[in-house]
Amino acid sequence: MKVACLIPAWNEERTVAQVVRICLDCPLVEEVVVISDGSTDGTAQEAAQAGARVIVREQNGGKDRALQDGVMATAAGLLVLLDADLLGLRPEHISALIEPVVAGRAQTTLGVFRCGGWQTDLSQNLTPFLNGQRCLTRQLWLDAITPHLGVGYGLETILSRHIRTYGIRLERVPMEGVGQLRKEQKIGWWRGLLWRMRMYREILAALGLRRPKSPARGMGTDLKSVPTQENVPPPEESCPAASRPRGS
């Protein structure tokens, strides 16, 4: 099954090229698609020079719509969703997201940051289901997210609820040393705060959406009416300072 990495990006010229290069260094990845969602900087140019296929959206339409464009632009049956501002990412992190699905142990995976900076680790401990680093089938995306386009940053909430509702096998994958460049570092404290408020508003709005009345079709192999199974690795006792990415 063809594997594509989809990377939505809004004004991420500082980090997107490195994320693209790491994706291309992963032997399991066949295609990298960056969706520049209304960027006004050099995001599209940096991504293209790094080797990605780039889709340019003239206006910012939200994370979910950007990813939907990426899904429609590739024929890949397996999708890896990654943020464009990741720090400390390595090819083996991407392989670790893909392998449980390819091996049939899980139908989808969820990355969990560890030792990525205290703020990143705190948010992961409180709300791990909001992490955007995932591997899932194309059909799961079409079943879970396409009917709810417009939720923006609420897409992880919608996807996590869909997985629980239909008993889809989920494996959590530790991503040691991975963090993110916070919006406050990129666009300043005030604009970063406004962005964060927008994100929380979209997440809360997604929590209020109704669940579908009947299971969606074709969500992957071996889908049965069983409780959601989450394979969660034991937590690490400590985080070596060397593994912490800068900027977190």
Domains and CATH numbers, the chain: 3-219 (3.90.550.10)
Structure-block tokens of residue 191: 């604009």
Q: Which residues of the chain have pLDDT under 50?
A: 211-237, 241-242, 244, 248
What is d(CA 99, CA 1) in angstroms, rounded to the nearest whole number?
12
pLDDT for 227: 34
pLDDT for 87: 93
**pTM of whole model > 0.85?**
no
What is d(CA 153, CA 37) in angstroms, rounded to the nearest whole number?
13
Structure-block tokens of residue 135: 């591997």
pLDDT digits (tens, 9 = 90+) for 122-169: 565 655 566 789 999 999 999 999 988 887 677 888 898 899 999 999
pLDDT for 115: 67
What is d(CA 15, CA 90) in angstroms, rounded to the nearest whole number?
13
Burial class (CB in 10 A: 0-12, 13-18, 19+), 243: middle
pLDDT for 94: 98
**DSSP string for the chain:** --EEEEEEESS-TTTHHHHHHHHHHSTT--EEEEEEES--SSHHHHHHHHT-EEEEESS---HHHHHHHHHHH---SEEEE--TTEES--HHHHHHHHHHHHHTS-SEEEEEEESS-HHHHHHHHH-GGG---EEEEHHHHHHHTGGGTT-GGGHHHHHHHHHHHTT--EEEEEEET-EE--HHHHH-HHHHHHHHHHHHHHHHHHHTSPPPSSPPS--STT--S----EE-PPPPS---GGGSPTT-
pLDDT for 201: 67
